[in-house]
Structure 1
């Protein structure tokens, strides 16, 4: 069975997934469920989709969204 490579649900880039627990870091992804509520709200359709499953967000996009 092929393993699916996770990617950022905003920029669609694939970065390494950070080991938990950790803080948001440029060049790494964390589960979207770890993002603050106001960021998760922007990706509600993604999180509710049975097709996408667990979403990831890269640190680069996280910092863009929180600036």
Structure 2
């Protein structure tokens, strides 16, 4: 695991996981498009100065860290 330009990875932890484009919820060990995060988390994510654009992902592990 780790950063690989050819494979999608989590913008927070930089780990690569399988992408779950069609899932309705975040799951541990899977990536979801970053635009699928609840709007209430966007302010928190701007604090870490992420750049929001297509092709960026957040893993379920980091999602649960942010929402705990």
| TM-score bin, normalised by smaller chain | 0.7 to 0.9
Unaligned runs of at least 5 residues, structure 2 = none
1:34 aligns to what? 36
TM-score, reference length from structure 2: 0.75
CA contact (8 A) 1:33 1:40 kept: no
Unaligned runs of at least 5 residues, structure 1 = none
Taking the aligned partners of 1:45 and 1:60, their CA distance within structure 2 comes to 17
Give the superposed CA RMSD. Answer: 2.1
